Amino acid sequence: MKKIYSKVFGGTVSIESMGMFPEPQSRSWLLQDDIEVIGAELALSINQASENDGYSYLRMELSQTGNISSDGQILEAVAGEYWNTAPPFGALAHAHPVVTFPEGYAVPIKEEGYLYLNFQGTGKSAGTDFYNYKAIVYYTKGNPRRK
């Protein structure tokens, strides 16, 4: 039986007013060993909504590359906030996707390779929205699943 390890990323991202917020390679992990990713979990939620009209969203992806929406993506989460003053309406959308690979399958990453958290989003007409995020990567060291 092989040991399963975990790597956790967490924090808060703020998005101010309108315009795109591309932040590839926001967080990265330089691997010190060969690993095989056997699962991942992302949690993304709006922490503090701003009462300004419009739509705000944040997209977070766990990827083998530092490029947003490219090959090598392992998992993605999208959260958002909608707000309208008149008529009054508000909605929050949180995300919590999880992936586990079947026995015998994994995403191999070599020593001195990277895993990235890439962010992309947009803000509303005014104000700042704060999103909390957490990413957990479940992995084994070496190539234990290969027979």
Q: What percent of the chain has pLDDT over 70?
A: 95
User: What pLDDT is recorded for position 1?
Assistant: 73
Confidence of residue 144 (pLDDT cuts 50, 70, 90): very low
DSSP state of 2: P
For the segment 17-26, what is each residue's pLDDT rounded down to a tens digit? 776 777 778 8
Distances (CA, A) of 86 to 17, 18, 48, 53: 20, 20, 21, 9
Question: Which of 59-63, 84-88, 107-111 has the weakest average pLDDT?
Answer: 84-88
User: What pLDDT is recorded for position 19?
Assistant: 67
Residue bearing the bigger pLDDT, 57 or 137: 137
What are the chain's domains? 5-141 (2.60.120)
- With 60 as the cut, is the pLDDT of residue 70 above it? yes
- With 70 as the cut, is the pLDDT of residue 146 above it? no
The string over 57-71, giving b where at least 16 C-beta atoms fall within 10 Å of a residue's C-beta and e elsewhere, is bbbbbbbbbeebeee
Mean pLDDT across 5-13: 94
Please tell me the pTM assigned to this model.
0.86
User: What pLDDT is recorded for position 45?
Assistant: 93
Token pair for 115: 């895993």
User: What pLDDT is recorded for position 32?
Assistant: 93
- With 50 as the cut, is the pLDDT of residue 67 above it? yes
Contact (CB, 8 A) for 119 and 44: no
Highest mean pLDDT among 20-24, 48-52, 95-99, 126-130: 95-99
